[in-house]
Structure 1
Amino acid sequence: MSDKSGPLVDPNTSIAPMLSVRQGAQAIEFYKQAFGATELFRIDSDTGSVVAQLAVGAASFWLADESPEHLNFSPESLGGGTVRMVMVVDDPDAIFDQAVAAGAEVVWPVKDDYGWRLGRVVDPYGHHWEIGKPLPKPQ
């Protein structure tokens, strides 16, 4: 039930995306190299599939091998994705270059536009990452 103050919001709520990929174990290694991710949780199944929670700084996300039987499809299966990841970092140029060196492809290079320093890559698993930071407001 809601009152005039709006819907109930739990202050401990968080939202973390789960990326469906092919070759989950390899994807984990890519995210470690590209973004300095660390593993927080991981399950490897007998069939070779993986589910893992990763963190980049204070931000976490999940990944899992695609499983069509559970309606989890990777961008490779769908011919593209419906979500872009936005990573806000202090040094977008360095993280962008690190991701490209690890195997990401440039969609557009880092540049100043619309009040942001921002570039976009697509990882080897079909997920798009915008890497940037807001620029200081002119005074």
Structure 2
Amino acid sequence: MTDPSANTPKTTLVPFLSVRNAAKAVDFYKSAFGADEIRRHEDPAGGVMSNLTVNGYGFWVADEEPQYQKFSPETLNGGTVHMVLTTEDPDAALNRAVAAGATVVCPIRTEQAWRIGRVLDPFGHHWEIGKPLKESTEPSHQQAPAK
């Protein structure tokens, strides 16, 4: 007998970042975070949409599309969300991002049982970079501290 739930799609939540220059953003994310490009679509007008992964966790990057109300933080003069990148060595990851062109918003520090800092990428997106310092079964230790 076949399990009917086997055909039910798994629920996922994947960030989709809008930027002004997606081709340049893809290069930045590769350099800054070691992202791998899984697939890329280029439209005839030169727009790019790319699916990237960092250590198996995916996100999308695409050129903004004002006609669909998809704007970059540069156009909006700021963003409403930021990404959280959990990594074994946040100090090295933050330094790599800065070397690739990110700006430090908050240097790496220890706060709320995390080693964490924040950078602003050249396209206006904020990235918290850190790791929890204590192993815990509490869900709150699996999420970055609130800002």
User: 2:128 maps to which residue?
Assistant: 130
Identity of aligned residues (%): 54
User: 2:68 maps to which residue?
Assistant: 70
TM-score, normalised to structure 1, is: 0.89
TM-score, normalised to structure 2, is: 0.84
Letter in 2 for 1:64: A
Letter in 2 for 1:95: A
| 1:42 equivalenced with 2:27 (yes/no) | no
Supply the distance in 2 between the matched residues of 1:53 and 1:42 (Cα, whole angstroms).
Answer: 6
Structure with greater proportional helix content: 2
Supply the distance in 2 between the matched residues of 1:135 and 1:122 (Cα, whole angstroms).
Answer: 23
Per-residue CA distance 1:75-100 (angstroms, 9 max, x = gap): 00001000010011111011100000
Per-residue CA distance 1:71-124 (angstroms, 9 max, x = gap): 100000001000010011111011100000000000010010111000000000
Letter in 1 for 2:47: S
Q: Give the Å deviation of 1:11.
A: 7.3
| 1:22 equivalenced with 2:20 (yes/no) | yes
**Helix, strand or coil: the match of 1:133?**
strand
**Helix, strand or coil: the match of 2:14?**
coil
User: 2:143 maps to which residue?
Assistant: none
Structure 2 unaligned blocks of 5 or more: 1-7, 136-147
User: 2:117 maps to which residue?
Assistant: 119
Letter in 2 for 1:96: L
User: 2:101 maps to which residue?
Assistant: 103
User: 1:7 maps to which residue?
Assistant: none
User: 1:33 maps to which residue?
Assistant: 31
Supply the distance in 1 between the matched residues of 2:9 and 2:95 (Cα, whole angstroms).
Answer: 36
Supply the distance in 1 between the matched residues of 2:134 and 2:70 (Cα, whole angstroms).
Answer: 40
Structure 1 unaligned blocks of 5 or more: 1-9
Q: Residue 85 of structure 2 is aligned with which of 84, 87, 92?
A: 87
